[in-house]
């Protein structure tokens, strides 16, 4: 079995929703759901929680994950997740085969989604990978600085029926996976041979503001919460 670790990244600062990662989401702190999903996964060997907040790290300790205190210099609004991953790798004394990165603000995933992503990663000998959904019905436009509109993914002058268009994939921010070699080489979650694992459309939402929080909470209740009720009693 491959040695695959999970890394959950959870900063203490949040402008859109104060203390977002420890705010109660369907009965548990938001960050706890990512921890539980990783713990149920059959293919994760160890779970790390990287944060600049003692409050968040203490929650992680409660759930039995390894806390990693992240320096303030790589914990700001403009700091990249990749910096936190590289910092974590410098703190552990071994090299895993693969690293799964989970964002607490994208909780619409299941342990099976994590395992499928890992299986796909090793089966296809990828360097980096992610989860996403295939969208066939979205016609996307962009507005430039001069307020001029133009289409991104289709030509309105030669509109092709949906069934004849190439499928497009939306990166849902839920699960990323890469080798230590790739993240060190590219300093990016993407590089080398890239692949993706398909999720459902309803899993393509993240939490950035209060409207997102309410919407994602409703989706979580509809599709996932019932599966976790017994576990919530154990972990809550």
DSSP state of 144: -
Instruction: Give the CATH H-level superfamily of domain 4-235.
Output: Spore Coat Polysaccharide Biosynthesis Protein SpsA; Chain A (3.90.550.10)
Q: State CA 126 to chain mean position distance.
A: 18
pTM: 0.92
Distances (CA, A) of 59 to 12, 22, 32, 233: 12, 8, 8, 16
DSSP strand pairing (194-198 vs 98-102):
unpaired
Q: What mean pLDDT comes out for the span 41-50?
A: 97
Segments making up each domain of the chain, as ranges: 4-235
Which pLDDT score is estimated for 78?
87
DSSP state of 87: H
Which pLDDT score is estimated for 137?
76
Longest Cα separation, the chain: 58
The per-residue DSSP string of 41-84 comes to -SS--EEEEEES-HHHHHHHHHTTPEEEEPPGGG-STT--HHHH
- Asked if residues 51 and 12 have their Cβ atoms less than 8 Å apart, the reply is yes
Tell me which residue of 156, 186, 190, 153 sits closest to 168, measured CA to CA: 153
93-116: pLDDT as tens digits: 999 999 999 999 999 999 999 999
Question: What does the alpha-carbon distance between residue 140 and residue 148 come to, in Å, rounded to a whole number?
Answer: 14
User: What is the three-class DSSP state of 174?
Assistant: strand
- Asked if residues 184 and 89 have their Cβ atoms less than 8 Å apart, the reply is yes
Which pLDDT score is estimated for 234?
60
21-34: pLDDT as tens digits: 999 999 999 999 99
Which pLDDT score is estimated for 120?
98
Tell me which residue of 190, 19, 225 sits closest to 107, measured CA to CA: 225
With 60 as the cut, is the pLDDT of residue 225 above it?
Answer: yes
| Residue 136 confidence class, pLDDT cut points 50, 70, 90 | confident
Question: What does the alpha-carbon distance between residue 145 and residue 207 come to, in Å, rounded to a whole number?
Answer: 27
Question: What does the alpha-carbon distance between residue 146 and residue 197 come to, in Å, rounded to a whole number?
Answer: 37
- Asked if residues 171 and 206 have their Cβ atoms less than 8 Å apart, the reply is no
């Amino acid at each position: 079995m491959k040695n695959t670790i999970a890394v959950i990244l959870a900063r203490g600062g949040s402008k859109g929703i104060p203390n977002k990662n420890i705010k109660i989401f369907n009965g548990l702190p938001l960050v706890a759901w990512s921890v539980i999903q990783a713990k149920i996964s059959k293919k994760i060997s160890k779970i790390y929680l990287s944060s600049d907040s003692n409050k968040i790290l203490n929650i992680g300790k409660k759930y039995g994950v390894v806390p990693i205190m992240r320096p303030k210099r790589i914990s700001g609004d403009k700091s990249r997740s990749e910096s936190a991953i590289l910092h974590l790798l410098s703190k552990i004394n071994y090299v895993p085969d693969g690293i799964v990165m989970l964002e607490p603000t994208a909780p619409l995933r299941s342990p099976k989604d994590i395992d499928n992503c890992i299986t796909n990663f090793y089966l296809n000998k990828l360097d980096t990978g992610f989860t996403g959904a295939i969208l066939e019905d979205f016609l996307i436009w962009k507005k430039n600085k001069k307020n001029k509109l133009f289409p991104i993914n289709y030509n309105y002058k030669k509109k092709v029926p949906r069934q004849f268009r190439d499928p497009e994939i939306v990166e849902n921010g839920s699960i990323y996976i890469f080798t230590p070699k790739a993240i060190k080489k590219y300093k990016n979650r993407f590089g080398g041979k890239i692949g993706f694992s398909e999720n459902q459309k309803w899993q393509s939402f993240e939490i950035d503001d209060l409207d997102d929080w309410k919407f994602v909470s409703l989706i979580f209740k509809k599709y996932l919460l019932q599966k976790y009720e017994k576990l919530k009693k154990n972990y809550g």
